[in-house]
Structure 1
Amino acid sequence: MRLEIFDGHQYLNLETFRKDGRGVKTPVWFVREGDALYVWTQADSGKVKRIRRSGRVRIAPSDARGNPLGEWLEARAQIQATPEAIRHVQGLMAAKYGLLFHGFRLLGKLRRVRYVTLRLTLPGEDAQPSP
C-alpha cells in the first residue's frame, strides 16, 4: 500500500480540480486509518464544493505551507457527512493533533461551523466500507 508515504507527516497537500481542470492545492491535517486517509473540513469550503463535482484529487505529504515532501498520488475523495463518520474522524484527529485540534473544534463550535469528513483512497483501494 502506498499510503505509507504519509506516515509520520502532519500535513498533506490536497489538490482538487475546478470545472476548467485547473488544480487548487490546499495543505490540510489528516489521519490515516487502514487503507484510507481522512480530512476534517468545513462543509462549505471550496475543496468540498469541488469534490462534490468530481471526486478526483491528488495528494502528497507536505509541510504546513503545502510544499510537497513526497510523491503525488492520484486518489478519490468521498464526502462523509453523517454524525457517526464525523465523530469517528474527530476522535482520530484529536488523538493525532491533541490540544491544537480541540482548539480548532472549539472555535468552530463558537462560530457554528458545519463540518464534514473527506475519505481519501487510492484507485483500487476504495471498496472498503467507511466508518
Structure 2
Amino acid sequence: MSETVGAIAESTYVMLTTYRKNGTAVPTPLWAARDGDDLVMWTVGDSWKVKRLRRDNRVLVQTCDARGKKTSGPEVAGIGEVIDDSSRAADLIVKKYGILGRLTVWGSRIRRGADATVEIRVRDVV
C-alpha cells in the first residue's frame, strides 16, 4: 500500500518541498494536520514557499524532525493549493498541537493580524 498525504499529516512535523522557477527543490519543515484525506498547513501569506506554490502547485511531503534535518518514510507527491482564509487550518493546528498551537496562532494574529496567514492544502496526485 502506498503512502498518502493524509497519512503523512499524522506526524508531528512535515517537510513540504516546493519548487523555484529553475526547478530547484526547496524543503521547509512545518506543522501539519489532517483534514479528511488532505494535509493542511498554516503559514505566513507572504512567505517564499507560498509564492512558489502559487506559481507551481507540485509538492512533495515527508515526515521530518522539527528542524527538517532528519526525514523518514517515503516522499509523497501532492498537489498544493493556497487558500487565503486560514481559519480552518488554524483550528486544526490548535486542535492537534494543543496549548503550543494555540499560543502560536494567537501570537501570529497579534503580531501580524488575522489576514496575514494562509492555509496550504495538499491533496494526493490522482
* TM-score relative to the length of structure 2: 0.88
Unaligned runs of 5+ in 2: none
Match of 1:58 in 2: 60
What amino acid does structure 2 have at the position aligned with 1:2? E
Say if 1:75 and 1:103 are closer, same or farther in 2 by CA, change over 3 A.
same
What amino acid does structure 2 have at the position aligned with 1:120? V
Q: Would you identify which runs of 4 or more consecutive aligned residues in structure 1 move more than 6 Å?
A: none
* TM-score relative to the length of structure 1: 0.85
Matches within 5 A, 1:14-25: 14-25=16-27
CA RMSD in angstroms, aligned pairs only: 1.5
Say if 1:51 and 1:11 are closer, same or farther in 2 by CA, change over 3 A.
same
- Which structure has more strand as a fraction of its residues? 2
Matches within 5 A, 1:44-123: 44-66=46-68, 67-82=70-85, 86-113=86-113, 114-123=116-125
Unaligned runs of 5+ in 1: 125-131
CA contact (8 A) 2:8 2:61 kept: no
Task: Tell me the matched-pair count.
Answer: 121
- What is the identity percentage for the equivalent residue pairs of Structure 1 and Structure 2? 33
CA contact (8 A) 1:81 1:115 kept: yes
